[in-house]
Structure formats: structure tokens, C-alpha cells
A and B are shown apart, each in its own frame.
Chain A
């Protein structure tokens, strides 16, 4: 008899929450994590007294996270010390003009009204529209299994508001912005958030235009760093008997002749038996490397190979000994939306790195929210700017130093005066570094593309259709990448296991 009912591969948020829910339901759960800390992309490490986050830098879409913690019999606010970010973000336009967006919808409308009176009204209509989606329980869409067309149709029946928003699934993010806003600068101020789901405004699914509105419903930072979220889930899971083993890399998922999982093998040769395996890693790596093509039908092999890896970016973390002139936790450095789309199609997708003066992206200054992350009087500035995961020529190791130095130099001259002269510590993580650290092919934050053709039933199913006893959580499966969504995927996997694996 095996010691564990369920083995979970990867302690990213999806895997951890799945394990914590299952252990609360009385299952014996082991979580195996290849790195030295929990959380995957939602984690934190310390260098020279600065606590740098690995990837995720805030939490939003709180109702989805609340739902996950409710499955653990507690609340998000009770388990994690959350600090509200208000203003929610600041925008720096190419001409140097700044716009700071407060939490309140009315306040945000006033700020937008300073750029365009017509778009102030447009913003209120946009806010009302997405508020109706939330009031109609539209967010439930992200918390339901979507393995089959039947699941999808059931969701439309269960949540009627989805039918009213059907056109938003057919539109692009860009279409939705153009529907509500006429002024290019106003559109710019809300365009970058499409990258939170991994695509340019012209390629992201229209329903994701809810993201800028959701920020007005609450955007928070966990005191002490993003790792406090996975640590809280780990703590709750361990109280219910869940075990987490760090530095334990799974190299094989064992499958018997009936195509049923029987356990896993770790890099040090240990075989751990279990009738159920939850994978929180990239599904391509799972199916092709850990399980093996010999266990998959040709159509499954074709499907899993057809996905493009999602976006990754170089991420530069700076510890600085001054108070940088930034107005919010997040600052968006924007460009014209057409230029952003053009860059995405014509440069990013073929591996071209933009010049510093062509760049756009996100500056995160978490110490504006939580001063405990850096030594007294010091701050953290994290730069999330554009760079493809695979370069047209050479590798990220070849250009890492030049890329980071030229970007910091440019931002110091144009956006954050004094930055370059105050850098005390710099850690640069390129897509290649993310691949090495997280074991994630291409360093792809969301595993796979998240456009219309790789969503819902066209994303790998959370209950495997080809291997019995195998379940998926994390960014590879519905509802895709992002802190709240991967947590939802973990709960979906856990509930399906409780239902199907007695």
C-alpha cells in the first residue's frame, strides 16, 4: 500500500492549493518541488538585504482568491497580511506626461477626464459593463472545470451573464478598448494590462479587458513579499498533514499498461507510488518528457506539440539607496497601442529585442507599499520590459549584461532620474534564467499561448483525457496563467479528484 494518495509535481500556487484542499478532505498528499522554495513564479528571494519577487508583483481579482481560501476553511485576508495599493498604478506616456490612477472608479474617471471628457463617460460605461459581469457571477467562469464542450455549455447555463458577454470572447482586448475609448492616450493607459494574460492588445481575448477594471476592485501586496501567499497555503496544508519536499525533481511519471498513473520517480532515483498525480508543471514537459510519447495517441501528441510557449520577459531587480521618483507600486511606461501591436507581431514573435528607446513595460516599486522589503532608506525597483524568450540570434546569456545596462541607463535618463547612480544591487533574470530556475520551458510565465485558440476546452484538460488518475493545475490548464487563475485551477483539480477518485 502506498504511503500517499496523491503526489503533486510542483509547488506553484496551483499545485499547493490543490494539495492543501485535498489534505483538508482527508487525502494523504505529497508535494514535490524541484527548487529550494515554494511558489514557482509567485515567490521571493533575498539578496544583500533586498527581498526581490521572482515574477508576480501584486494580487488582484480577489474574489477568485477568496474562493480558493474558502475551500481551505479560512479567508485570504486572515492568512496573509495584505496591503492595499492605492493609487493602483501610474502611467508615463512617450511625451513624458503622467497619469496616476486611483482605486476609486470616480477618481479614475476624473483623471481620465483630464485627458478626454468623452472618454471619462466611456470609462464609466466600461466600468458599469464589467461591474454587471461581476454582479452576474461572471467570475465563476474562471472557477469551473472546462474539460469538454459539455462543461462549457453547462457554464453558460449556470452563469447566464456569460451569454450577454459572448461577444467579448469573440472580440480582442484592443476591440474592447476601442469600443469604449476614443483618445489614444486613454487607450494606452489600459493597454499594457493585456500582457498580464500574455498577449498584445490585438491578440488577447476581449474578456480580459476586465483586468484594468478589476484593479479598481482591489489590488494588494502581501507584506513581506509575494512568497507569503504560497507559504500561507503550505502552512494550512501542513496543518492537515500535507507534506512538501523541496529540492526534489520529478523525472518520470509512471504509467501502467492500462494508461493509469502509478506514481513518480525523482532525480535521485526514488520511486513514490500514488494512484493520483497532479501536475503543476508545463503540460508539454509533463506529457512529452515525464510521461513519454509512447503513452499518448497521435492526436494528443499533435495537440500538445501545437501550443506555442507563452510570453516571457527579462526581469531586472534593482536595490537602490534612494527614493526613486515613482508615484505608485506599478508604473506603466507606455507607447502608442498600434506600435505595441506592431512590435508584438513584427518583432517579438521572431525574436528581436527592442532598442531601449523603443521599449515599453512595467516598473514595479514594491517598497512604495511595503518598506520592510529593503534596508531603511533603500528601495526596490523591478523592471519588466520587453524581450522575447527565444532570440533571433544568439542567447540571452550573450546579451544579458548589455541589455540590462542599456535599459537602466535609458530609464535613468528619461523616466527615473538618478536611478543608475543609486543602484547598489542588481539581479537580472532573463527568460533563459527563468527556464533554469523554474524548470519551465522558455521561461514561459503562462506556459502556453492564451489566445482564443488555446483557451477553455482548447487548453489541456485539468482531468487528463489520455492518462487515468492524472490531473493538471497551474497555467497549462483552464483558466490559464496569473495568480488568481492558477489558484482557481488548483481548486478545480482538487474538486475533480474528490469527485472521481474515491
Chain B
């Protein structure tokens, strides 16, 4: 069990993030989802 402690910590952090996202209002979810989709282009944009 002790060897699996790290797994429980990771799952715990993911669960907290999931709860925070679920509790966000629709408008914030929409905005965050948009920003995350754009994020993949940031390095390329920095080079333009």
C-alpha cells in the first residue's frame, strides 16, 4: 500500500481539479476551454 501512496496523491489532485472544473460556471468553462485550445499554438505564435 505504501508503494501506491503516490498514486493516491495524483488521483486526489486530479479529483480536486475535476471538482473545481465541475463547479465553475458555464461561462468560465467556455472561456477556459477556448484558452486551452489556443494554448497549443503559443510557441508557434511566439516565433512569428
User: By the criterion of a CB under 8 Å from any partner CB, how many residues of chain A are at the interface?
Assistant: 28
A299 touches B35 (CB 8 A): no
Near B by CB (< 8 A), chain A positions 330-354 give 338, 341, 345
Can you show 7 pairs from A to B with CB atoms below 8 A apart? A283-B48, A303-B47, A338-B27, A451-B35, A454-B45, A458-B42, A466-B47
Nearest neighbor of B39 in chain A, beta-carbon distance: A453
Task: For the complex, give the distance between the alpha carbons of A300 and B47 in Å.
Answer: 6
CB within 8 Å for A302 and B38 given contacts A202-B30, A202-B31: no
Near A by CB (< 8 A), chain B positions 23-37 give 27, 30-31, 34-35
Chain B residues whose C-beta falls within 8 Å of the C-beta of A300 in the assembled complex: 44, 47-48
Q: How many A-B residue pairs have CB under 8 A?
A: 55
B48 touches A460 (CB 8 A): yes
Near B by CB (< 8 A), chain A positions 341-369 give 341, 345
Which residues from chain B sit less than 8 Å from chain A, CB to CB? 27, 30-31, 34-35, 38-39, 41-48
Instruction: Tell me if A's interface is mostly helix, strand, loop or mixed.
Output: helix
Task: For the complex, give the distance between the alpha carbons of A345 and B35 in Å.
Answer: 13
CB within 8 Å for A458 and B31 given contacts A451-B38, A453-B38: no
CB within 8 Å for A458 and B46 given contacts A202-B27, A345-B30: yes
Query: Of A299, A341, A459, which contacts B47 at CB under 8 A?
Result: A299
For the A-B complex with A172-B31, A300-B47, A307-B45 known, give 10 more contacts whose Cβ atoms are closer than 8 Å. A202-B31, A283-B48, A287-B48, A302-B44, A453-B38, A453-B42, A458-B42, A460-B48, A461-B48, A465-B47
Chain A residues whose C-beta falls within 8 Å of the C-beta of B43 in the assembled complex: 299
A453 touches B27 (CB 8 A): no
B46 touches A453 (CB 8 A): no
Task: For the complex, give the distance between the alpha carbons of A297 and B46 in Å.
Answer: 13
Cβ-based interface call for A306 (8 A): yes
Task: For the complex, give the distance between the alpha carbons of A384 and B6 in Å.
Answer: 57
A297 touches B45 (CB 8 A): no
Nearest neighbor of A452 in chain B, beta-carbon distance: B35
CB within 8 Å for A303 and B31 given contacts A451-B38, A453-B38: no
- Shortest C-beta distance, B11 to chain A (Å), equals 28
Query: Of A172, A303, A307, which contacts B46 at CB under 8 A?
Result: A303
Task: For the complex, give the distance between the alpha carbons of A338 and B48 in Å.
Answer: 35
A304 touches B48 (CB 8 A): yes
A306 touches B47 (CB 8 A): no
Most B CB contacts (10 A, CB to CB) among A202, A302, A453 go to: A453
Chain A residues whose C-beta falls within 8 Å of the C-beta of B41 in the assembled complex: 302-303, 306, 453
